[in-house]
Amino acid sequence: MLDVETKLMPRGVRRCAPRQFLLWVLPWCALLVFGLYGAGLCLVKGLNQTNMDNRFAFGLWIFLDLTVIALGAGAFFTGFLLYILKKSELKAVINSAVVIGFICYSGAVAALLVDIGQPLRFWFTFWHPNVHSMLTEVTFCITCYLTVLSIEYVPIILKNRKLRQIPSFFVFEFELHKLMPVLAGVGTFLSFFHQGSLGGLYGVLRGRPFAFREGFAIWPSTFFLFILSAAAAGPAFIVITTWLVSKISRKPLVRPEVLRLLGRISGILLLPYILLKCLDTLVWINNTAPARGFAAHEFYARKPFGVWILFAEIVIFGLLPALILLRRRMRESAGWLVFASALVCGGIALNRFVMTVQTLALPTLPFDPFLSYSPSWQEVATFLAVIAYGVLTYSLSFRYLTLFPQEKDLSC
Amino acid sequence: MLGHIIFLGLFFAVLLVISASLALSLFRSVWDFRTRRAETIAWHATFPDLPARERVCRHEFTGEFERRTCGRAFDCRECQTHAALAAKRAPGAAPPAHEADVLGLEFPLDRSYHRGHTWAFPEPDGTVTVGLDALGARLVAEPEAIELPGVGTHLETNGTAWHMHKRGANVRILSPLDGEVVATGGPGDGWYLKVKPDGGKLDDRHLLRGAEIRPWITREMERLQAALAPAGQAVSLADGGVPVDNIAAAYPDADWDAVCAEIFLEA
C-alpha cells in the first residue's frame, strides 16, 4: 500500500511520510466537514441561517469571494506573462499558479452558490441573463474562467507519474499543452473583465455615495482599480504561497530569482495602482461625494471605520510594499520580499472588505442607522470550508503532482 | 439590443474558443496515434521535465561550450549548432583506440552510444545491433523481467525500445534509431535487438562516439553517485576503483526506481 502511494509521487523529490501527511490533512478534513454542515444548513433552511438581511445583503461570503478572486489573479497574470509575453522564468511557478487560481475560483463559485441559494436554479442566470447587471457579466466570466482553469489543471494532473504511463493521456496532455497560449489569452480576456466588473459593481451604486464613482464611458473608476490591484496582488500571493509551502515542506522549490521577479512585477503594478487610487480618492472627496450631498469626512466619522482605514489601505498596505518591492536590494532579502508581498495581499483583503462591509454599514439617508454586521457561525463555517478545501486541494496537488519543476534540480 | 448582441456574442465566442481548443486537442491526439507519433511525442513531452543536469548538450562534454542545455530533445539531426561544430572537427580527430576504458567500464569505440545508455552497431548485412552500454548493464544486472518488442515492431528514435524490471523499477529503455525490429536477443547474448534501420542506413548524427564518450561517462558516474547518495547527506564521489557488476545489489536501501529514472532519462 505504502509502495503504491510512493509511486504516485513525482520522481526525484522527497515528500513526508504518509502518517505525517495524514496528521496534516485530518484537521483540515474536519474543518471541511464542519463547514459543509454549515453550508448545508444554509442551503436547506435558507439564508435565515445567516446574519445578512435586505439592508446588509453582502457579508463575509462576498468579502471572501472578492478577496480570493483577486488573489487568484496570479493564475491569469502569470499565464499571460509566460505564454503571451514569453517570460520563461515563470515556468517555475506556473503550475502552482494554476492550482491556486483553480482553488480560488472554484472556492468562490462554491461560496456564491451558497450565498445565492436555490442551487437547483443556478442555470437561471445563464438562461435568463439580466444584461444590464454587472453581476451577470461577473457570473458569465467567472464560470468561463473556471472552465479554462479546469482545462489548464488537466495537463498538470495527467503528468502525474502513474497517469503519464498511459500513452493516450500523455499524448492528450501534450496536445492540450500546445494550446496553452490560446487558453492563457482567453483567461486574460475573461479575468480583465470580471475583475473589473467586480469593482464596477460598487462604482455604479448611485444610492451608496461611499462607493459610487465617476468613470470612463459605462465603467466607473473602480472597474480599472480592481483590475490593476488584482494584477498586482496575484504575483504577490504566489510569492507568499511558494514561500509558505517551502517552509512547511522544508525544501527549496524555486530559485530565488523567480520570486524576486514576481515581487518586482507586483511592485511595478502596485505603484501606479496606488497613484490612481490616490487620484480617485481625491476626485471622490472633492467632487463625487459633495455632488451627492455628503462631505467625505462623514464616511469616516463612525467607529471602527475611521480615517485610519484609508491611511492603512493607501500607505501601509500600498505605498510601503510598492517601495520595498521596487528596491532591488530589499527584494533580494527573502524577509523583506515576503513581508512586502504579505502587505500587498493584506491590502487587497482590506480594500475588498472596505468596499463590501463599510459601504453597506454606512447610512445613506438622514434617518438611516449605522448598521453593524457580524457573521453567523454558519457563515463562518462556510468561509472556513473554502479555506480547508483550498489547503487540502493544494496539499494533495503538491504531494502527487509536479507543481514546482525546479524542485528536482534544487534538491540535489 | 446591440448591447445584448455584443455581450452574448462575446460570451458565446469565448465558449466556442474553449470548446474548439478541447476538440482540436482531442482530434490531434487521435491523429498522433494514427500516424504513430505517440512515441516521439512521449519523449518530447518528457524531455522538458527532466532536470537541467540531464539535458546537457553533448558539446559541453567536449568543452566546445562551457554551459549549454539541449533544446532539441537530444535529436542532433536537426540541430544547426551540432552540424556546424561537427563540420569544424578535423577528419582525423577520431580516436584510434578500439576500446575506451572509462572508470573500469568498457566502451568499444566501434559503435555509437545513445544518451539513454544503449549502443548501436551497424552490421555488414545492413541491420543495426542494439544493446545496453556497460553502465546501463550494471544498473539492471540480472533483471527480474524483460519486455522486448516483437519482430516487425517499428521503433522511433528516443521512443521506447524495451522495458526491464529491476527491484520494483519498471525501466524504459530508449531506442537509439528509427527502424523495424528483425530479431530479439537478451542479456546473455550481449545484445537485445537487431533492427533494420529506416532508409537502409543508420543515421547516427544524434549518437555519441569517440572522444565524447569519456567525458560523458565521467559525468554520468557523478550523476549516478549523486542519485545513490542517502537522503539529506552530501554526495561523496569515489576517487578510485571500478563499479561492481551488480550495482543494485551493492545498494539495497537505494530507491532503485529513482536511480534508474535518473540514468535512463525518465521524468
pLDDT value for B1: 73
For chain B, say whether A190 makes contact (Cβ under 8 Å). Answer: yes
CA separation for the pair B48, A342 (Å, rounded): 32
The C-alpha cell at A26 is: 485530518
- Return the pLDDT at B95: 54
Average pLDDT, stretch A90-97?
95
Contact B32 A129 (CB under 8 A): no
H helical segments located in B35-103 = 38-46, 58-61, 80-88
Question: What percentage of chain A exceeds 90 in pLDDT?
Answer: 69
CB contact under 8 A, A183 and B18: yes
CA distance B2 to A6: 57
If we measure between CA atoms, which residue out of A268, A319, A332 comes closest to residue A77?
Answer: A268
SS3 B197: strand
Q: In what order do the strands lie in the sheet containing B160-166?
A: B145-147, B160-166, B169-174
Do B150 and B181 contact (CB within 8 A), yes or no?
A: yes
Task: Determine the longest span between alpha carbons in chain A, in angstroms.
Answer: 71
Return the minimum-mean-pLDDT range out of A29-38, A63-72, A363-372, B231-240.
Answer: B231-240
pLDDT one-digit tens code per residue, A151-184: 999 999 999 988 988 888 989 999 999 999 999 9
Distance from CA of A373 to the nearest CA of B (A): 36
Residue A193: which pLDDT band, with cuts at 50, 70 and 90? confident
Output b/e per residue, B35-57; b: 16+ Cβ within 10 A.
Answer: eebbbbbbbebbbebbbeebbbb
Query: What whole-number distance in Å separates Cα of residue B106 and Cα of residue A261?
Result: 47
Query: Of A201, A228, A125, A230, which Cα lies nearest the Cα of A356?
Result: A201
Mean pLDDT score across all residues of chain A: 92
**Mean pLDDT computed over A46-67:** 91
Under 8 Å between Cβ of A232 and A259: no
CA distance B109 to B201: 19
Q: Is the pLDDT of residue B94 over 80?
A: no
pLDDT, greater one: A93 or A124: A93
Residue A2 clears pLDDT 60, i.e. is over it: no
Average pLDDT of B182-203?
94
* Residue of A78, A2, A70, A20 whose CA lies nearest to A249: A20
Average pLDDT value for chain B:
89
Predicted local confidence at residue A301, as pLDDT = 87
**CA count, 13 A, side-chain hemisphere, B170:** 7
From B232's Cα to the closest Cα of chain A, the distance in A is: 9
Q: How many C-alpha atoms does B41 have within 13 Å on its Cβ side?
A: 26
- Residue B90 has a pLDDT of 61
Query: Looking at residue A233, what is its pLDDT?
Result: 96
pLDDT digits (tens, 9 = 90+) for A102-136: 999 999 999 999 998 888 888 888 888 887 887 88
Looking at residue A369, what DSSP letter applies?
P
Minimal Cα–Cα distance from B99 to chain A, Å?
33
Q: Which of B22, B29, B41 sits opposite A151 (nearest CB)?
A: B22
- Rounded percentage of chain A residues whose pLDDT exceeds 70: 99
Give B51-94 as a 3 state SS string. Answer: CHHHCECHHHHCCCCCCCECCCCCCHHHCHHHHHHHHHCCHHHC
Q: For the whole model, what pTM was predicted?
A: 0.89
The stretch B235-260 carries a mean pLDDT of 86
With a CB cutoff of 8 Å and minimum separation 6, the contacts of B36 are B154, B156
The answer to which of A253-257, A338-342, B255-259 has the lowest mean pLDDT is B255-259
Distance, in angstroms, between A250 CA and closest chain B CA?
A: 12
Residue with cell 479575468: A191
Q: What DSSP designation does A145 have?
A: H
Q: What is the predicted pLDDT for the residue at B98?
A: 62
Chain A, residues 119-148, CB within 8 A of chain B, namely 129, 131, 137, 140, 144, 147-148
Backbone angles phi, psi at B125, to 5 degrees: -80, 5
Q: How many CB atoms lie within 10 A of CB A276?
A: 15
Residues of B in contact with A175 (CB under 8 A): 24-26, 28-29, 32
Q: Are B171 and B260 in contact (CB under 8 A)?
A: yes
Average pLDDT over residues B128-143: 94
Question: Is residue A177 within 8 Å of A152, Cβ to Cβ?
Answer: no
**Pick from A170, A171, A186: CB nearest B17:** A186
Whether the pLDDT of residue B152 is over 90: the answer is: yes
Pick from B222, B227, B218: which is nearest to B256 by CA? B227
Interface of A with B in 294-353 (CB under 8 A): none
Cell representation of residue A314: 493607501
CA distance A79 to A89: 12
- Answer yes or no: do A179 and B4 touch at CB < 8 A: no
Q: A360-382: per-residue pLDDT in tens?
A: 898 888 788 888 889 999 999 99
> Is the per-residue pLDDT at A239 higher than 80?
yes
Element (H, E) at B160: strand B160-166
B100's grid cell: 575506451
pLDDT at position A165, please?
84
Strand order through the sheet with B179-186: B112-113, B118-122, B128-132, B191-197, B179-186, B154-155
Residue A411 scores a pLDDT above 70:
yes
Q: Which residues contact A387 (CB under 8 A, 6 or more apart)?
A: A31
Q: Evaluate if residue A188 carries a pLDDT over 80.
A: yes
Banded pLDDT at A1 (limits 50, 70, 90): low
Mean pLDDT of the B84-94 span? 73
Name chain B contacts of A76, Cβ cutoff 8 Å. Answer: none
Concatenated DSSP letters of A113-128: HHHH--GGGTTHHHHS
**Rounded Cα gap, residues B131 and A280, in angstroms:** 72
C-alpha cell at B120: 548501436
| Positive or negative: CA dihedral A286, A288, A292, A298 | negative
Q: What is the largest CA-CA distance in chain B?
A: 84
Cβ contact (<8 Å) for A172 and B26?
yes
Cα angle value A296/A300/A302 (rounded, 5°):
135
Name residue, grid cell 474543518.
A31
pLDDT tens digit string along B27-71?
Answer: 999 999 998 888 889 899 889 889 888 899 999 998 999 999 999
Question: Is B258's CB within 8 Å of A147's CB?
Answer: no
Per-residue pLDDT reduced to its tens digit, A335-358: 999 999 999 999 999 999 999 999
C-alpha span between A336 and B242 (Å, rounded): 50
Nearest to A134, CA basis, from A186, A188, A204, A76: A204
DSSP string, B161-192: EEEEEETTEEEEEEPSS-EEEEEEEEGGGTEE
Q: Which among A44, A50, A3 has a CA at the least distance from the CA of A381? A: A50
Lowest mean pLDDT among A32-46, A340-354, A373-387, B231-245: B231-245
Contact A287, A342 (CB under 8 A): no
**How many CB atoms are located within 10 Å of the residue A210 CB?**
24
Name, in order, each residue with C-beta under 8 angstroms of B203's C-beta and a sequence gap of 6 or more: B77, B177, B178, B197
